[in-house]
Amino acid sequence: MLIEFVLNDEPTSVEVPAYKRLADVLREGFNLTGLRSACGKGYCGLCTVVLNEELVYSCMIPVFQIRGKSVQTIEGYAETEGFNDVFEGFKEAGVHLCDYCAPTRTLTTGILLDRYVRPDARQIEEILSSVKCNCTPYETLKKGILLTSQIRQKRLKS
């Protein structure tokens, strides 16, 4: 099946079986390996991408569903100011992520903070749980999220 869509702001297309998983299409067909193909069951969040401005687990999306839609991966997000906000916020908070989680954690934090400009406790929980991680202390991550939010608010005001 020919799938036409927009990938990281560029119109593109790919010829693949309709039910191939979006995660595999992006990793194998476009070499976008920042998203991980980990649990494959919608549990870990490590395959998250932005589909028409919503965060989705790309391991759960058959590729035919993205026809005519817009997909953003961490590789595209890395070109945005939002990415720099997260990078700075996490650095200031002393957040050290493993290489496996860092790309997706950065993407989900940045995108959810677009939605929650001043996140409350419930929204911080949602950001924290967007990626399953057993190594980084939640308090450190929380600090990183709050610092990112402050950095972003400052940038948007200036």
Residue number, 44 or 63, with CB nearest to ligand FES: 44
Q: Say if CB 101 and CB 133 are below 8 A apart.
A: yes
Q: Is 8 in the site for ligand FES (CB under 6 A)?
A: no
Residue number, 59 or 124, with CB nearest to ligand FES: 59
Q: Which residues contact 50 (CB under 8 A, 6 or more apart)?
A: 56, 70, 71, 72, 73, 77, 107, 111
x/- site string to ligand FES, residues 30 to 49, per CB under 6 A?
Answer: -------xxxx-xxxxxx--
Instruction: State in angstroms the smallest separation of the CB of 49 from ligand FES.
Output: 10
- What interhelical angle do 138-157 and 102-115 show, nearest 10? 50
Q: Please state the φ and ψ torsions of residue 21, each to the nearest 5 degrees.
A: -75, 140
Residue number, 55 or 153, with CB nearest to ligand FES: 55
Question: In the range 114-133, which residues lie near ligand FES by CB under 6 A?
Answer: 133
Question: In the range 47-86, which residues lie near ligand FES by CB under 6 A?
Answer: 47, 57, 59
Q: Say if CB 36 and CB 58 are below 8 A apart.
A: no
How big is the site for ligand FES, counted in residues (CB under 6 A)? 20
Side chain identity at 67, as an amino acid letter? Answer: R
Element (H, E) at 23: helix 22-24
Choices 6-14, 26-34, 98-106, 117-125 (CB under 6 A): range interacting with ligand FES: 98-106
What does the binding site for ligand FES look like in residue numbers (CB under 6 A)?
A: 37-40, 42-47, 57, 59, 97-98, 100-101, 133-136
